[in-house]
Structure 1
């Protein structure tokens, strides 16, 4: 068995797709197990090639005996994630070098590296090719409307949430241009989604609460996505759906859409020399510097 660890969220999983496929291709006859949250299973299914999902608390031998020929850390630089995989007693560990975890044979960690290329480089170090452009996902069979413009105002941390009134201003402008606008959000973001819809004059049924599989289908068939730097933006990249992504504390050079795809527009007014606090309590100044008129202009460029 080959065991890979990527125990984070939607965007984190989407950026590891090329690396997961590289591991799959390198061990065609082996069972590939992915240690990840169970709620991500619908998205893992859209990647293909993963044989089983393992909860992270099931890695350690005391809970479940896993016999891994190779354990691949696609989660972080260590030491905690290295030690979690080492607890499974794999014959080999592929991971970035970390002296604290006693793992020295991996490549050095580069903080400012793009997340997709980071994990491809890790595999290249161990002689496994991985194509950083291989980001596509299968389109799920989900009953969702086609051709909508999605506005997704939520994000995990407050520092990455553009003000609701500005999203509403964008929604009003796009509606005036003929877009069918819908507002999406997770279960915990429904109040925020309703606020944006109400402020933009949209009816309550324009607020969508979807499963992860339905959300992927909605993005795959959408006309345009506008969101902050959060997981849904990576779904737009996976489906080549035109998008405008608003960045605040984190640079698009690390988490943005790949270069050479003009249908994906990243807006950022920060500096690479002054990284922000992605977990800060308030909206990041770089995000506040973005105006609705700029977003609407980029939306036109994305779908041109």
Structure 2
């Protein structure tokens, strides 16, 4: 674990840099955690943050008159703060210690993990009450039992509901003010190689979409610029990235490394369709009610797939839920690799209501 960090911010606003940027995550100003506050630990990535939205609404219901402070990445926390889900953000990553004065008379809620390591991070701030999964062997006997084979949204709603804050899948939705546009968003990246469908297959999908006249927006982080350039056809390998490329009739634009999380949400919110793997962009599409084609593997969609509006989302999965793969692996998972270009294009055809080029 890294060293502790401190400081709170009450200032909503977009994060800087590309998707998943840590550039604005240093200590920020604001008053310290106070008595009566509720400290929520969820120091995880974009998909995890969105999967925790329903539970955050439950936290608000459990403690409606208290200030909700989220310990997590600042650029994500501030974005959620803009929706009124939390009141302040304590920048934090993974399971680093939280540099806070202990014994503040606050409530601590562990929405980060099963424990006991995450429990210990929250417990070190000495809350008057710790809400967590039961871990008797580590000295945390109070709480429900963590289950592996449970949807991520249901899991955290079950914990928070147990603590007195009823919530459920319908609490996942975020307001989407955008009118549906014409663009198809293709997001080829993922945090780990096991969840990245081969780029040549994504390139084939983009080519087919553009050939049918659909504008395509390829999104990704700054670290994924080479991948997105290969998928979008905007530059040769190792060449400059940016601009747009015409593929037959449709325009393809490479937006990798250019979007903050709020800007990414705006792009997804205005899309006609999103195509991606098991990654944060899929969760944005779910939260905003945007149709999607989602490629799963190694983790089954029963654990991390769309939890609401199933009619909007086509989920492709060729794995065995009883034998999931490694979500943190470096090589593409066999279950994901079994999904073909034709399967994806068939799903895109059905969502768009018309065949793409050459089909």
- Corresponding position of 2:24: none
Kept in 2: contact 1:36–1:56 (CA 8 A): yes
Once the 2 structures are TM-superposed, how far is the Cα of residue 266 of structure 1 from its aligned partner?
A: 0.9
Once the 2 structures are TM-superposed, how far is the Cα of residue 137 of structure 1 from its aligned partner?
A: 2.0
- Corresponding position of 1:203: 245
Between 1:132-141 and 1:156-165, the stretch displaced more is: 132-141
Once the 2 structures are TM-superposed, how far is the Cα of residue 26 of structure 1 from its aligned partner?
A: 1.9
In 2, Cα distance between equivalents of 1:61 and 1:155: 28
Once the 2 structures are TM-superposed, how far is the Cα of residue 46 of structure 1 from its aligned partner?
A: 4.3
- Within the candidate set 3, 28, 47, 2:64 is matched to 28
Deviations 1:101-156 (A, max 9, x none): 31111111110100000001111222320122211224489xx9943101111000
Kept in 2: contact 1:160–1:249 (CA 8 A): yes
- TM-score under structure 1 normalisation? 0.92
In 2, Cα distance between equivalents of 1:225 and 1:45: 25
- Within the candidate set 40, 51, 66, 1:4 is matched to 40
In 1, Cα distance between equivalents of 2:281 and 2:295: 12
- Corresponding position of 2:92: 56
**Closer, same or farther: CA 114–47 of 1 in aligned 2, 3 Å:** farther
Kept in 1: contact 2:74–2:92 (CA 8 A): no
Matches within 5 A, 1:100-139: 100-139=137-176
In 2, Cα distance between equivalents of 1:47 and 1:68: 26
- Within the candidate set 213, 226, 232, 1:178 is matched to 213
Between 1:162-171 and 1:35-44, the stretch displaced more is: 35-44
- Within the candidate set 77, 80, 88, 2:114 is matched to 77
Matched, 1:273 2:322: yes
Once the 2 structures are TM-superposed, how far is the Cα of residue 84 of structure 1 from its aligned partner?
A: 0.3
In 1, Cα distance between equivalents of 2:234 and 2:206: 9
**Closer, same or farther: CA 210–66 of 1 in aligned 2, 3 Å:** farther
Kept in 1: contact 2:276–2:294 (CA 8 A): yes
Match of 1:169, SS state, is: helix
- Within the candidate set 66, 74, 83, 1:38 is matched to 74
- Corresponding position of 1:91: 128
Once the 2 structures are TM-superposed, how far is the Cα of residue 256 of structure 1 from its aligned partner?
A: 0.3
In 2, Cα distance between equivalents of 1:234 and 1:72: 23
Match of 1:203, SS state, is: strand
Please, which runs of 5 or more residues in structure 2 have no aligned partner?
Answer: 1-36, 237-243, 247-251, 354-359
- Corresponding position of 2:182: 147
Matched, 1:212 2:212: no
- Within the candidate set 223, 226, 233, 1:188 is matched to 223
Kept in 2: contact 1:242–1:303 (CA 8 A): no
- Corresponding position of 1:289: 338
Larger radius of gyration: 2
- TM-score under structure 2 normalisation? 0.78
Between 1:270-279 and 1:174-183, the stretch displaced more is: 174-183
Kept in 2: contact 1:171–1:200 (CA 8 A): no
Match of 2:227, SS state, is: helix
Deviations 1:167-203 (A, max 9, x none): 0111111223331111111010011100111189961
- Corresponding position of 2:196: 161
Match of 1:192, SS state, is: helix
Kept in 2: contact 1:18–1:134 (CA 8 A): yes
Between 1:252-261 and 1:88-97, the stretch displaced more is: 252-261
Q: Which has the higher helix share?
A: 1
In 1, Cα distance between equivalents of 2:69 and 2:100: 16
- Corresponding position of 2:28: none
Deviations 1:251-270 (A, max 9, x none): 10000012552111111000
